[in-house]
């Protein structure tokens, strides 16, 4: 088992960090099919970590088509305990303009039921609490890194996850604002909940690209891509600060999956037994 415990999952632009060394790629098969791509093992300032491009190396998977279960299971099988998500989002609050990083602490699932959102089904039963889907200690470390490198950021709030791939209508956007959510995106559910089922510490860097559509400011995809390029540069700075710090200050945390599995060992299939062994590591 690898001693590498840190992973980053995000867009392909995230790992193009100055000074990064790509060591090798890992092809991991899972009971849920293949992850979005080979998992990249890299080094940054001498610290090893994994990176997984959420939408594939060539951005070939829509948010609905991402195999979230395979992604999380593959990372857990490699030994990952700390998972940093980097995601583009729209802002639902005036105080979070484009280029702000919002370090959320809650999620609202507004997807349409197309996504497999649990490892427990088909006679394999478990119930994991996602009351606190973001690990507070990891969230704090990300916030500290944002401060260290001077990135404008917001603390806490909810990430509302829609199905996509279309952006919201104005009516929908105003409904979401009425919920009190801070940002809107398409990928962090079920990713965050599966990370909890896998016993990982998970936290999100939500990078604001636009004001969704609730403000009277039309924003084209080209304009959003320009902001994303700036956001990626800021993400590079945060990760270069965060990853070595996290590696040197690894912390223990409550794993919500420890007593969650109800299916008796003698009733589990060989594949289910393998899943238990990986998820409960």
The tokens 């940002």 sit on which residue? 183
pTM summary value: 0.95
* pLDDT higher than 80, residue 10: yes
CA angle, corner 8, sides to 228 and 278, nearest 5?
A: 145
**Contact between residue 240 and residue 142 where contact means Cβ atoms under 8 Å apart:** no
How many domains does the structure of the chain reveal?
1
Instruction: Answer whether residue 205 is part of any domain.
Output: yes
Instruction: Answer whether residue 58 is part of any domain.
Output: yes
The residues that are catalytic are 210, 212
The tokens 């924003």 sit on which residue? 219
Q: Give me the helices (H) in the chain, please.
A: 68-77, 136-149, 170-178, 188-197, 221-248, 270-279
Q: Give me the helices (H) in 187-220, please.
A: 188-197
Instruction: Answer whether residue 103 is part of any domain.
Output: yes
Instruction: Answer whether residue 280 is part of any domain.
Output: no
* pLDDT higher than 70, residue 199: yes
**Contact between residue 123 and residue 46 where contact means Cβ atoms under 8 Å apart:** no
Residue 92 CB partners (closer than 8 Å, separation 6+) = 160, 173, 176, 177, 181, 182, 183, 184, 212, 214
Instruction: Answer whether residue 62 is part of any domain.
Output: yes
* pLDDT higher than 90, residue 17: no
Q: What is the mean pLDDT of the chain?
A: 93
pLDDT tier at 222, thresholds 50, 70, 90: confident
As a whole-number percent, the residues of the chain with pLDDT over 90 amount to 79
> 49: which 2 tokens?
């970590």
* pLDDT higher than 70, residue 263: yes
**What is the extent of the structural domain holding 66?**
6-267
* pLDDT higher than 90, residue 271: no
* pLDDT higher than 60, residue 1: no
Instruction: Answer whether residue 40 is part of any domain.
Output: yes
The CATH code of the domain that includes 110 is: 3.40.50.1580
Instruction: Answer whether residue 41 is part of any domain.
Output: yes
Per-residue pLDDT of 223-238, as tens digits, reads 778 898 899 999 999 9
> What is the average per-residue pLDDT within 41-54?
94
CA angle, corner 42, sides to 41 and 45, nearest 5?
A: 150
pLDDT of residue 276: 87
């Amino acid at each position: 088992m690898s001693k590498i415990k840190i992973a980053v999952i995000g867009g392909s632009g995230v790992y193009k960090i100055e000074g990064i060394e790509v060591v090798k790629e890992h092809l991991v098969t899972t009971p849920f099919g293949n992850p979005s791509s080979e998992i990249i093992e890299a080094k940054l300032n001498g610290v090893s970590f994994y990176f997984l491009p959420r939408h594939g190396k060539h951005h070939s998977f829509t948010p609905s088509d991402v195999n979230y279960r395979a992604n999380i299971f593959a990372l857990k099988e490699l030994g990952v305990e700390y998972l940093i998500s980097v995601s583009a989002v729209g802002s639902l609050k005036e105080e979070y303009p484009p280029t702000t990083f919002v370090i959320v602490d809650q999620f609202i699932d507004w997807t349409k039921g197309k996504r497999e959102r649990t490892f427990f089904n088909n006679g394999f039963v478990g119930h994991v609490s996602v009351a606190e889907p973001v690990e507070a200690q990891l969230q704090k470390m990300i916030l500290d890194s944002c401060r260290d490198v001077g990135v404008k950021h917001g603390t806490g709030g909810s990430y509302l996850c829609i199905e996509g791939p279309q952006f919201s209508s104005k009516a929908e956007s105003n409904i979401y604002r009425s919920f009190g959510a801070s940002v809107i995106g398409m990928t962090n559910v079920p990713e965050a909940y599966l990370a909890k089922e896998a016993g990982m510490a998970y936290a999100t860097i939500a990078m604001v690209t636009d004001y969704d559509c609730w403000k009277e400011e039309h924003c084209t995809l080209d304009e959003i891509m320009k902001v994303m390029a700036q956001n990626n540069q800021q993400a590079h700075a945060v990760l270069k600060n965060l990853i070595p710090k996290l590696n040197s200050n690894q912390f223990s945390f409550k794993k919500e999956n420890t007593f969650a599995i109800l299916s008796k060992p003698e009733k589990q299939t060989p594949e289910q037994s393998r899943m238990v062994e990986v998820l409960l590591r």
